[in-house]
Amino acid sequence: MNATRMLAVLATVALVAVGVWLGVAQAGGKAAVKAEKGVHWASITSSGTVYAGDKDVVSAQHVTTGDYVVVFKKAVGKCATVATANIVGPTGVAPNVNYGLGAVEVATYTNAGAAQDRNFSLIIDC
């Protein structure tokens, strides 16, 4: 992982952590990000914009080439996650639910394994 990508990922983690901390403070000390049950989904453009999604999608961010973070209102760390590129032909997509309480990191690749910006869809089943 190059230094630029690492800084961008760390900055995003910090922002999510601050948001969770503020949510806990506003909720009187109770966790604002609760464990979720059900199915959630999002369609994300290659620029990191939420094209469509269910009511629990908070935001998406394009971190660096081929790297995205999708933030949900609920904790999704213990959920099954599937991401797929919205493209015909060989490609790679790798979701990482261990990224943060309510966040999923998604990496998109070419068939040769090089990072590349791609539209993708994400489904989370808790």
Is it the case that residue 6 has pLDDT exceeding 50? no
The Cα-based distances of 12 to 7, 39, 70, 104 in angstroms read 9, 24, 10, 11
Per-residue model confidence (pLDDT) at position 27: 41
Q: Which residue has the higher pLDDT, 21 or 96?
A: 96
pLDDT digits (tens, 9 = 90+) for 106-120: 989 888 889 999 999
Residue 115 lies in domain: 3-125
pLDDT digits (tens, 9 = 90+) for 77-101: 888 888 988 876 666 677 776 666 7
Number of domains in the chain: 1
The Cα-based distances of 20 to 17, 25, 26, 103 in angstroms read 5, 9, 10, 11
Is it the case that residue 18 has pLDDT exceeding 90? no
Is it the case that residue 5 has pLDDT exceeding 60? no
